[in-house]
Structure 1
Amino acid sequence: MAELMLGLKRTHRCAEISEKNIGEKVTIMGWVQKNRNKGGLIFVDVRDRSGLIQVVFEEESTDNEMLAKAAKLRSEFVVAVVGTVEARSGAVNENLATGAVEIKPEELRILSESETPPFPIEENSKTKEELRLKYRFLDLRRPDLQRNLIMRSQVATLTRQFLAEEGFLEIETPFLIKSTPEGARDYLVPSRVHPGNFYALPQSPQIFKQLLMCSGYDRYFQIVKCFRDEDLRADRQPEFTQIDMELSFVDVDDVIDVNERLLAKVFKEILGEEVSLPIPRMTWQEAMDRYGSDKPDTRFGMELVDVTETVKDCEFVVFKGAVENGGSVRGINAKGQGAMPRKKIDKLVDFAKDFGAKGLAYIAIQEDGTVKSSFAKFMKEEEMSALIQAMGGENGDLLLFAADKNKVVWDVLGNLRLELARQMELLDKSEYKFLWVTEFPLLEWNDEQNRFTAMHHPFTMPMEEDLQYIDTDPGRVRAKAYDIVLNGNEIGGGSVRIFNQEIQNKMFEVLGFTPEQAEEQFGFLLRAFKYGVPPHAGLAYGLDRMVMLMAKEDSIRDVIAFPKVKDASDLMTEAPSAVDVKQLEELGLELSE
């Protein structure tokens, strides 16, 4: 039978008790982790978010009623224990913060009983994720998940403190906004008061934060939910959290400076990690050429080597065709992998095909210097030697090549490089390698729409020296855009914004907007731009992804309290769900079959 608190007050969380408290009377409250009845001695581990402590009920010193109550305790019962802190009578448990002490109880209250949980509440649970997410309220009791969410809270708190000290104001922007079809799909919300009209949920507070700069607030930030109705990948969520900021009267270096100091503070105070400043910078072009990725993982080498010049005159049709079509031939050197079995190499070929490769050429150099290659018969001996030399190939190395348009070659080798690093165990989660990637292309060509689209968004400032190409060669124009990358993950990105009306109009023109379309979608921003706009720039972090990397987790679901699964549903609440017909009628909506 559950009992009431009746004025009982907790004095300590479980793991706050230490040898300093020996001899003190304390009151703890929490969940029963384990109950071990040794006949005459009952050991009960009580857990709360701080950790565990052992309570010892002894037959000689405990009245029969309390002993009987202790014997019926089961996993996940909620209890209150009043007792005295003593030095542990048995061996000290080095793995436990409270391993040197225990509580000798004088009062036990069962505040709430529990059914047997559908899975054990323990760290590094082996239970299937689907079951854990269905019972997320139990899963969240696991100490590792609790540590992750505590860390997330600390990151948010520290960020708020730091930005406030740097003169930023925390200002909330609306969730019910106008839909702008550029970019990913919006979540739409029907309006009851305006039948047939819809709000959208924001994919980011972009336009509002720019308006706040127009309104003279100088520095804004917000830790804010954003929404995207995307085709979900394993590590995407339909709703995610951004640390969002915007600054006035600044350029690229100012934004980078404040953010480097923010990252250094967060990583030092939460993880004890020194982030050495300044963080290295690399242009987008260099990142693509060296790593095949605009978010390169620089914890290991295995960089791409452009061998187009070396092979341009050879007779191997795959290489020759790529060069003639304006593409390139590039390779990576997997050091020490020359003895990789053919079956494993074939798997790498299949992997490469997933990223658009038609195949993968390879040279396996054996330890004795013998060369095995998929294309040796098409190469002269001196051509083969020159190629191995260009790749820095040595005995025991495996050289892998892709030949196609640059975009395909980068994509294939960039992903292959990461796959090999995983297989070769080169990825150390305890190492934090930051990198700024700068000077992104302003535009990218979209084959489906047969037009240029904005690589970031339509308000990104082109680099001043590239403005001359905007009409004649738009693809050549670089943007004042920058991403912050950590261990091969983009954790944040931003840009300097256009504050000049002429450049903004030109940008809309290049993107294929008529003046009428631009006015219809972004009219309120364009009107604001007629009344004195300061130069401004901003950046937003993906908080979920950053905390995931800090916590050394593989999934953002492990750092979000109530995440959705891959199809954007919530297994616990069973959202999304059907709604009452009456609700639909009020909204003037009718469902088609």
Structure 2
Amino acid sequence: MSTLLETGRTHTCGDLRLSDEGREVILFGWVNFRRDHGGRIFIDLRDREGLTQVVFGPDVDAAAHEAGGALRSEDCIGVAGKVVSRVKNQGQANPNLATGEIEVEVTRLEVFSKAQTPPFDVSKDDRLDTNENLRLQYRYLDLRRPSLQRNFILRSKVGTLTRTHMAGQGFLELETPYMVKYTPGGARNFLVPSRLNPGTFYALAESPQIFKQLFMVSGFDKYFQITRCFRDEDLRNDRQPEFTQIDVELSFATPERVFEPIEALMRKLWGELLDTQLAESFPRMTWAEAMDRYGSDKPDTRFGLEFTDLTEKTRGCGFAVFEKAEYVKGICLPGEHGKGYGRGKIDKLTAFAKKRESGGAKGLAWSRVEADGTWKGGSAKFIAPELQKQISADMGADEGSLLLFIADDFHTTHAVLNSIRLHLRDALGLVDPKAKQWNFLWVTDFPLFEKNGEGNWTSSHHPFTCPKDEHVELLLSDPGKVLAKAYDLVLNGNEVGGGSIRIHRSDVQAKVFEALGLGEEEREQKFGFLLDAFKYGPPPHGGIALGLDRLAMLMSGAESLRDVIAFPKTQKGQDLMTHCPTPADDAQLAELFIRHRPLPGSEDGAEPGNEG
């Protein structure tokens, strides 16, 4: 008799239905849960497609029943048997399982491998309360959980559909190198030493940006790639040191020509994977409007609490906090919510506004609105009643509304009020996570430059981002007013993609470099090969990069990127399963022409600088 493995399974554990009653089947999988009811042993058998209840009974097959008694959680097994109706077999259907109307009476069992007692109960799945570090240490067990497997099945389908869609739109899938030239500035790179070129290093590519532009110079017209990128940055829930982009570039591009295939891709993904029909065209909003209304360049437009600009209205109002501020903006919490915000909650909200991660406001001004539009409490005593009524009207306040104000510089005012807005969204449940509301938005016309910590102009995106045609003349005279042909794709308050039209004219590029203070030597060091390529007839071009990890996270409803990246790192950049990063021994370092230089106070006592 051939083994079950040789014969092969006939179905997955998610396939069988009542219409299969009477069929002889073979299933493979893991023991998800075991129950012994009066001599009959019930096992939920699990594979990536679902669960099927299998039954071992002494009346069905004594040998299989005896062997089934020794099975434990996570044993890997194969079973052969007949599909029967649960109800006809004196049982009850399980409406929570796709296979819940049937079970398989086992006539033959093969144990492929036994499992030790796992460090956590995989069968609990969404009810799992295990420490995340333990889950990451045993990631291969964590990945057996159906909820995570659903995430990765969806992620895989996103990649497959993206490839078929982009190919159908005339895009070529082309690869770019991971090990590239290190260019100072931008995100911090990981460095890779070169053994064949002692003392030199590659950088791991933080994006394929320059190479995809070179594809356009090469005449490939339309390019895409699902590619890994690397950035040595501080980590958080939505950031990992290695991540995946859907990278796109096309020649003879305008922003609209970039938007069209991307919107079509989103419609395809949501339609086929989430059974959701998206709009034929996504809304557009300029960066200036997004900041004015929401204080964020990635606004969550699923709920209100939009900002009201009170800067000019409060000039000369007599309230020094407002009068001296560069900006005064507020949000109105309507009466249905505002009435429930007592002084204790307001004090907590004030403390929240002062936190550095919220933007670091000096304070939070507030007042509650009476029936006639005047205010009570907080800032009421500093503002004349007539002005109170005007502000209440401007902010759309009703009786009991809570008005919240931030008065500070541009960055602080918008950052803090945005933090408060999102905090109230979550605290008051203003967005129903079960509603599956998908608000896509293009944010356009970003500033081309921003000031760094030293007060110098830097590129908001990268130095090859094209300025708007009408702003080219401002590049050297007033860089702060120059807007870019740049755009982000935003979904429910998350940036899921960003791109721009690139500079292809040498005279415009020279002005951008001059505005950034980049001299000839620095230009050549950082971008010489690209500038050389641009001497040979580059086409107008532009593109975008979409975060595949983030798209998968939002589509699957996961709370963290770690739930859609198979083997993620912790916030300290560590892999707890393989225990990396690890030290390199002296022989390995010597082969790479690197010498270990101990930190001050290390155990070997060497002083820094004495290693040569």
Is 1:129 the counterpart of 2:132? The answer is yes
AA aligned to 2:22 is G
Q: Quick check: 461-470 or 364-373, which moved more?
A: 364-373
Match of 1:418 in 2: 422
Alignment of 1:157-176 (within 5 A): 157-176=160-179
Offset of 1:5 from its aligned partner?
5.7
Residues paired across the two proteins, number: 585
- 1:82 aligned to which of 80, 83, 90: 80
Please name the residue that 1:505 is paired with: 510
Q: CA RMSD in A?
A: 1.5
Structure 1 unaligned residues grouped into runs of 5+: none
> For structure 1, which segment, 296-305 or 127-136, has the greater mean C-alpha deviation from structure 2 after superposition?
127-136
Report the more deviating stretch, 568-577 or 148-157: 568-577
Could you give the per-residue CA deviations for residues 203-244 of structure 1, whole angstroms, max 9, x where no partner exists? 100000000110011111110110111122332101110000
| Whole-angstrom CA distance in 2 between matches of 1:390 and 1:581 | 69
1:254-308 deviations in Å (ceiling 9; x for gaps):
0011111111111110001111121000000000000000000000011000011
1:236 pairs, out of 230, 235, 239, with: 239
CA deviation vs aligned residue, 1:486-516 (integer Å, no higher than 9, x gap): 0000000100000111111211111111111
Deviation string for 1:519-552 (max 9, x for gaps)? 1111110111011101111001011111111111
The question of 1:320 aligning with 2:323 is answered yes
**Where do 1:373-522 residues align within 5 Å?**
373-429=377-433, 430-446=436-452, 448-522=453-527
Kept in 2: contact 1:338–1:365 (CA 8 A)? no
What's the counterpart of residue 105 of structure 1?
A: 106
Which residue of 2 is the match for residue 120 of structure 1? 121
Letter aligned with residue 33 of structure 1: N
Q: Is 1:27 the counterpart of 2:26 in the alignment?
A: yes
Correspondences of 1:11-26 after superposition (within 5 Å): 11-26=10-25
Contact 2:64/2:106, CA 8 A, preserved across alignment: no
Q: State the distance in 1 between where 2:514 and 2:140 align.
A: 51
Alignment partners' CA distance in 1, 2:596 and 2:500: 41
1-structure distance, mates of 2:288, 2:374: 36
1:153 maps to what in 2? 156
Aligned to 1:257: 260
Q: What code does the residue aligned with 1:84 have?
A: K
2:106 match: secondary structure: strand
Give yes or no for the alignment of 1:39 onto 2:69.
no
Aligned match for 2:581, one of 576, 580, 588: 576
Match of 1:266 in 2: 269
**Counterpart Cα distance in 1 of 2:411 and 2:549:** 29
Q: Distance in 2 between matches of 1:563 and 1:522?
A: 32
- Residues 249-398 of structure 1: pairs in structure 2 closer than 5 A: 249-322=252-325, 327-336=326-335, 337-354=338-355, 355-365=359-369, 371-398=375-402
Structure 2 CA distance for aligned equivalents of residues 198 and 145 of structure 1:
37
Give the deviation of 1:378 after TM superposition.
1.9
Q: Distance in 2 between matches of 1:275 and 1:536?
A: 27
Answer yes or no: is the 8 Å Cα contact 1:339–1:364 preserved in 2: no
The whole-number CA distance in structure 2 between the counterparts of 1:552 and 1:14 is: 24
Q: Distance in 2 between matches of 1:558 and 1:78?
A: 24
Q: Which runs of 4+ in 1 moved over 6 A?
A: 367-370
TM-score by length of 1: 0.96
**1:370 Cα deviation (Å)?**
7.7
Distance 1:197 1:351 in 2: 47
Task: Tell me by how many angstroms 1:84 deviates.
Answer: 1.4
| Alpha-carbon distance in structure 1 between the residues aligned to 2:114 and 2:52 | 19
Q: Verify the 8 A CA contact 2:181 2:203 in the aligned structure 1.
A: yes
Measure, in 1, the Cα distance between the counterparts of 2:152 and 2:277. 22
Instruction: Tell me the SS of whatever aligns to 1:16.
Output: coil
Q: 576-585 vs 368-377, which deviates more?
A: 368-377
For the Cα contact (< 8 Å) 1:442–1:462, is it kept in 2? yes
- State the shift of 1:369 in Å: 7.4
Write the letter of the residue equivalent to 1:116. Answer: T
Q: Distance in 2 between matches of 1:432 and 1:394?
A: 29
Find the residue that maps to 2:73 and give its secondary structure.
coil
- Give the counterpart letter for 2:23 in structure 1: E
Partner of 2:93: 92
Residues 91, 522 of structure 1: alpha-carbon distance in 2 compared, 3 angstrom cutoff: same
2:246 partner SS:
strand
Shift in Å at residue 321 of structure 1? 0.7
Task: Give CA deviations for 1:20-65 in whole Å, capped at 9, x if unaligned.
Answer: 32222111100001111112211111000001001111222212x3
Question: Which is further off, 357-366 or 484-493?
Answer: 357-366
Question: Hey, what's the Cα distance between the residues in 1 that align with 2:183 and 2:352?
Answer: 36
The aligned counterpart of 1:548 is 553
Q: Deviations over 1:446-500 (max 9, x none)?
A: 1x23311111111100000111111110010000001000000000010000011
Does residue 7 in structure 1 map to residue 6 in structure 2?
yes
Give the match's secondary structure for 1:309: coil
The whole-number CA distance in structure 2 between the counterparts of 1:369 and 1:401 is: 16
* Residues 246, 548 of structure 2: 8 Å contact kept: yes
SS in 2 for 1:244: strand
The amino acid of 1:548's aligned partner reads M
What secondary structure, in the 3-state scheme, does the structure 2 residue paired with 1:86 have?
Answer: strand
Cα distance, 1:379 vs. partner?
Answer: 2.0
Q: By how many angstroms is 1:19 displaced? A: 2.1
Q: Give the conservation status (yes or no) of the 8 Å contact 2:237–2:561.
A: no
Whether the 8 Å CA contact 2:250–2:541 is kept in 1: the answer is yes
Query: Which secondary structure does the structure 2 equivalent of 1:59 belong to?
Result: coil
CA contact under 8 A between 1:339 and 1:366: conserved in structure 2? no
- Greater shift, 118-127 or 494-503, is seen at 118-127
Listed one character per residue, the Cα deviations across residues 143-191 of structure 1 (whole Å, up to 9, x for unaligned) are 0000000000001100000000001111110011001112110000111
Q: After superposition, what is the alpha-carbon deviation per residue over 1:350-398, rounded to whole angstroms, capped at 9, x for unaligned?
A: 2211212111100123679784332222222222222222222211211
Give the Cα separation in 1 of the matches to 2:50 and 2:113: 19
Deviations 1:57-98 (A, max 9, x none): 1222212x3211100100000000011111222111110010
**Distance across 2 between alignment mates of 1:92 and 1:67:** 22
Measure the CA separation in 2 of the matches of 1:368 and 1:73. Answer: 73
Deviation at 1:330, TM superposition (A): 0.6
Q: In structure 1, what is the Cα distance between the partners aligned to 2:517 and 2:4?
A: 67
Displacement, 1:309?
Answer: 2.1
Instruction: Tell me which amino acid in the other structure corresponds to 2:422.
Output: L
**Closer, same or farther: CA 563–4 of 1 in aligned 2, 3 Å:** farther
Tell me if the contact between 1:79 and 1:110 (Cα under 8 Å) persists in the aligned partners. yes
Distance 1:367 1:86 in 2: 68
Superposed CA offset, 1:418-449 (max 9, x none): 11111110123311100000000001111x23
- 8 Å CA contact 1:13–1:48 kept in 2: the answer is yes
Q: Taking every aligned residue pair, what percent have the same amino acid on both sides?
A: 52
Q: Secondary structure at the match of 1:243?
A: strand
Alignment of 1:530 onto 2:528 = no
TM-score, scaled to structure 2: 0.94
Distance 1:154 1:77 in 2: 29
Note if contact 1:310-1:390 (Cα within 8 Å) is conserved in structure 2.
no
